[in-house]
Structure 1
């Protein structure tokens, strides 16, 4: 255990030396046991490492972006970036967006990213000697407080006319163009001065890859008091490199420890799936039987229409070469009409089954057997108040009778439409066989 803790502390030093936020080795132990106190720390660490993978550094922009993002936005961003890189864990994707839990899953995601992206190697590649810098300005600390303070003109808010706004924008545009030209001139001047330094120091070099001194080296020769600062920077870089080399030697210990983290996850998952935990659903006992019956009916209908479809395909293949465009349109119209008719029949059959299965009948219709229409009487009453005299006539469910009448009416309409389409197609076929014949449809068919 002591070796594991030393390895994790070494990993923490490597991460801190490359710009990540503060993290403790204890957070790794807490995350192993899925402690919620380490969740926020690892979400933040993942965000910074993803930023490093994208931009090659962890700078102030990363910390500023992390501070401006809300908790939910940061978590969603990390999940999306991890998925883009290939981490397709369902447990990780389903973690709450409020950073309330899931530290173990985030730790596993961190280990995956560390291995998949080769972060330690990228950290080594990003290390560079300060002597390789061409511009010595990084050694000086500038204070930008005066530049970031708003001017008095910007602080005073006053109402100005649209014309004055246009004049002000034109003034700012002119200043911007002037500053850009000055920057271009300064850039050219800087390049000229660097070339003069390289030409003046030709033949003298501290780096075998160059045959001249850099601007940084010339600046240090001119200001030897800055050597102490350079030595501190070099010592810091050497410490970073030494930590990463030591990590390479102890890396296997960390991955074995990660195997124990995965074992804990699988163990907890088995305990969660124990039969002691049961979920009860408010489902009627006959619902499963009805669902099985509906499933069987659906399968039968599919098998029935599958044979019809196969027959249609065979007819289509046989008629494909000889059928004309008009005959094809007529055939498609007939097929659509037949499909609509079959669909309506299925819907009406299901409606009839529902009406037959109703247990409560609220209204009854009593019919007399008189042959004359004037003597026909219909009495609508509540089923619970039927008199003995009325019981002599057969009682019929009025809703059932109405449904049957509507069903017959719809069938008549569908049959009429089908025959109309059929006869119209026959007329068009006959008209197509007679040259120079015109078939004019009646007004009722239009």
Structure 2
């Protein structure tokens, strides 16, 4: 238990060093047992972490927003943002908006956010070296900046003409500021190039053959080194705490498992409580709940079948070797290729039906005199014997009749197929009417 408290205190230190409000480890212990006094600090912590996930920092804007929002606005905002991130919990959505209870649900929501958003990794990414921060080169005069900002705020104008004039004035100042900014950027590039040329051959880092603008500025103003050393020490402490968190993280998640088990044990599950969706309109919510209920019923209905299929697959997979599976796969591919080729050949033969050709053969002098009709039949069949003529004619007629039946079947099939396609297209086009040709009716 002592190790859990040490781990939670380490986590609170990391949160505090990253900009969150100071939080005691006792709050986490109270929230495990769903104590009401731990509710408000956890709401504030979730608000700050959500702000950090969206903007990458926790600054004075976060503090001012928290102070200006009402309690109900704060709770609804946190619920909506967590729901947008994918945290769908009925118990959390039904927490009271007056922050009177529900500390255990807030603790579970915090753990989900900590894991899902990789907050510790994001905190570590922001621990950059202050030597790379160029803000030390230009420290603005706060009084002058605030005075300029107040001068840009438009006064209360009484007439629309004065409002238009004020907007024109602001537009002119904005354009002038943009031109001045562009000129300053060009001047900055020239000065940086001059610094790099003058310090060529002198370097503090192996990947740069010259000094940077900040390094030259620090050499000129060595009193700023104390400020940088303080920032470096703070970052070193933060990185050390995060390294220790990586070693003790499993203790915290094991403790969170006990929190979840305690919730399941003490809190009865209300199936009738609907889910409150803050990011969609309330009209489709009943339909979504009905669809979700049907999906759950379908999953429960086919769950046993899926389990049986998985067990059958495992047993058969253990019985069949990899060589046999490869052989079966090759046979299947070969059979599919043969079927495709046969279908292609059948279709090509079907559409390439040729008419019978008639060849004129010279009459044999020794051949007995036959009627003219028999001679024409012999010439058509290409046979010299008169007894085979009736057989050749019947086979040719049978072949033509079979081809005719195949053509009629193919025409009927394609007619149905194209008619169905036309009906689908006519449904998509509003106000259209499908009129079939008289031959298809």
TM tier, smaller? 0.5 to 0.7
| Cα offset, 1:64, TM superposition | 2.5
Q: Tell me the equivalent position of 1:130.
A: 130
Q: 1:23 to 1:139 in 2, by over 3 A?
A: farther
| Cα offset, 1:87, TM superposition | 1.4
- Provide the C-alpha distance between the structure 1 equivalents of 2:141 and 2:149, rounded to a whole number of angstroms: 18
1:190 aligned onto 2:202: no
Q: 1:162 to 1:154 in 2, by over 3 A?
A: closer
Q: Tell me the equivalent position of 1:428.
A: none
1:10 aligned onto 2:23: no
| Cα offset, 1:233, TM superposition | 0.8
1:119 aligned onto 2:115: no
1:178 aligned onto 2:179: no
Q: 1:138 to 1:54 in 2, by over 3 A?
A: farther
Aligned partner of residue 224 in structure 1, secondary structure:
coil
Structure 2 unaligned segments of length 5 or more: list them: 272-415, 421-441
Q: How does 1:179-328 map to 2 (within 5 A)?
A: 179-269=177-267
Contact kept, 8 Å, 1:4 with 1:253, in 2: the verdict is yes
1:102 aligned onto 2:102: yes
- Provide the C-alpha distance between the structure 1 equivalents of 2:205 and 2:139, rounded to a whole number of angstroms: 21
| Cα offset, 1:29, TM superposition | 1.1
Contact kept, 8 Å, 1:135 with 1:215, in 2: the verdict is no
- Provide the C-alpha distance between the structure 1 equivalents of 2:2 and 2:90, rounded to a whole number of angstroms: 33
- The number of aligned residues is 274
TM-score normalised to structure 1 length: 0.56
**Greater alpha carbon shift after TM alignment, 58-67 vs 96-105:** 58-67
Alpha-carbon displacement from aligned partner over 1:300-326 (angstroms, at most 9, x marks no partner): xxxxxxxxxxxxxxxxx9xx99xxxxx
- Provide the C-alpha distance between the structure 1 equivalents of 2:16 and 2:213, rounded to a whole number of angstroms: 30
Aligned partner of residue 223 in structure 2, secondary structure:
helix
Aligned partner of residue 88 in structure 2, secondary structure:
coil
Q: Tell me the equivalent position of 1:40.
A: 40
Alpha-carbon displacement from aligned partner over 1:151-203 (angstroms, at most 9, x marks no partner): 69977x7x866555544443443333223322222222222222222332233
Aligned partner of residue 134 in structure 2, secondary structure:
coil
Contact kept, 8 Å, 1:136 with 1:215, in 2: the verdict is no
Alpha-carbon displacement from aligned partner over 1:18-42 (angstroms, at most 9, x marks no partner): 1111211111111111111111111
| Cα offset, 1:114, TM superposition | 0.9
Q: How does 1:142-153 map to 2 (within 5 A)?
A: 142-143=142-143, 146-147=146-147, 150=150
| Cα offset, 1:236, TM superposition | 0.5
Alpha-carbon displacement from aligned partner over 1:345-392 (angstroms, at most 9, x marks no partner): xxxxxxxxxxxxxxxxxxxxxxxxxxxxxxxxxxxxxxxxxxxxxxxx
Contact kept, 8 Å, 2:137 with 2:217, in 1: the verdict is no
Q: 1:103 to 1:137 in 2, by over 3 A?
A: farther
Q: 1:27 to 1:179 in 2, by over 3 A?
A: same
Aligned partner of residue 83 in structure 1, secondary structure:
helix
Aligned partner of residue 14 in structure 2, secondary structure:
helix
The Cα RMSD (Å) is 3.0
Contact kept, 8 Å, 1:198 with 1:213, in 2: the verdict is yes
Q: 1:140 to 1:29 in 2, by over 3 A?
A: farther
**Greater alpha carbon shift after TM alignment, 98-107 vs 130-139:** 130-139
Contact kept, 8 Å, 1:204 with 1:213, in 2: the verdict is yes
Q: 1:89 to 1:190 in 2, by over 3 A?
A: same
Q: Tell me the equivalent position of 1:335.
A: none
Structure 1 unaligned segments of length 5 or more: list them: 274-316, 322-446
Contact kept, 8 Å, 1:20 with 1:48, in 2: the verdict is yes
Contact kept, 8 Å, 1:130 with 1:230, in 2: the verdict is yes
| Cα offset, 1:133, TM superposition | 2.0
Q: Tell me the equivalent position of 1:49.
A: 49
1:77 aligned onto 2:77: yes
TM-score normalised to structure 2 length: 0.56
Aligned partner of residue 12 in structure 1, secondary structure:
helix
